[in-house]
Amino acid sequence: MTSFLDPLLQRVKARLRPLARRVGLAKGEPVWWEKRTKPQAASVGVGTGTGTGDGAAACNVCGWSGAEFAEPFHVEMATCPQCGSIARDRFLLHGFLSRNPKPWGLRVLETSPRMGRDYRRMMRQWFQYTASDFDESNHVADIKVDLMAIGLPDNSIDVLLTPHVLEHVPDTALALGEIRRILAPGGRMYLQVPLLQGVTAAPAEPEFHGDNTPVFWRFGWDLTALLRAAGFETTVLVTDEWLDSLSGKSPRPIDVGDGFAINDICEHVVMADLVAVATPETARRFGFLP
């Protein structure tokens, strides 16, 4: 017999399961890397793993599939009930794999990965993967890395994944120079930063993110100019729907005062920098919607 509380209990379990898995109190169904099933990334729209079922939502990190992600669709939400990935985790991995046709075995460094032990174990199945962090007192990492003085040899990394870290670095130019130094010829950086406004500026008031980490820069579209000045060829990866909104082909998102200055973002966008890597169907299934 089904209780009217069952849907609520299932939602609570979905939110708590990723935390329980990270601290070793729960074990979900075997995910693709535990089954030793090689991931597929041959076409745009397919991430590291594919959904194990035919649900409307699927996680390209762990292979989960179901009716929906926990919490609303938002870059910091749309949580996978199995591995705990959120929208930006899945889009970062999707962007990396969709732009690297043969990524397996690459030397990959990820700065301050938000995902826990299972994710890192998965990455080590297929890459020479190293997780780094600046503050080892708050995070478990393989090595400590200060992006302004990276203690690694020249040309020692094929791919750098750096999600929501650069805004916490005081000297952007110095960090980009260090990243260029450690990247091997042909290497790539997949950089994620919060895009809250159109033009880069320092915070008007002291600002802190998780673990009380200070924010030195609120980046805008002109970050691409800083990257090119440091010697990078730069492309901004977006979804088809976001590209259509920014180009005026479809309506802009409504500015609801949630911290995103939508009008400023749309006014300063550099359309020539943008490349779409996810169809509307892919974005909905993997929860990439902002």
| pLDDT tens digits for range 80-97 | 999 999 999 999 999 999
Write down the pLDDT at residue 139.
64
Residue 149 CB neighbours (<10 A): 9
Write down the pLDDT at residue 73.
64
Give whole-number Cα distances, 138 to 16, 23, 71, 81, in Å.
21, 15, 25, 24
Give the CATH number of domain 55-286.
Answer: 3.40.50
As a whole number of angstroms, the distance between CA 164 and CA 152 comes to: 21
> String of b and e for 260-269 (b: at least 16 CB within 10 Å)?
bbbebbbeeb
Where do the domains of the chain lie?
A: 55-286
Length in residues, the chain = 290
208, with CB counted inside 10 A (0-12, 13-18, 19+), is: exposed
Main-chain dihedrals φ then ψ at residue 72, nearest 5 degrees: -65, 160
Among 238, 234, 245, 251, CA closest to 282: 238
Q: What is the pLDDT of residues 209-245, one digit of tens each?
A: 877 889 999 999 999 999 999 999 999 999 999 999 9
Per-residue pLDDT of the chain (290 residues; tens, 9 = 90+): 444 454 455 455 555 554 444 444 444 444 434 443 344 332 223 334 444 456 899 999 999 999 999 876 667 788 999 999 999 999 999 999 999 878 889 999 999 998 888 889 889 999 999 999 876 556 678 899 999 999 999 999 999 999 999 999 999 999 999 999 999 999 999 999 999 999 999 999 999 987 788 999 999 999 999 999 999 999 999 999 999 999 999 998 888 777 889 999 999 999 999 999 999 999 999 998 76
Write down the pLDDT at residue 258.
72
Write down the pLDDT at residue 195.
94
218: helix, coil or strand? strand
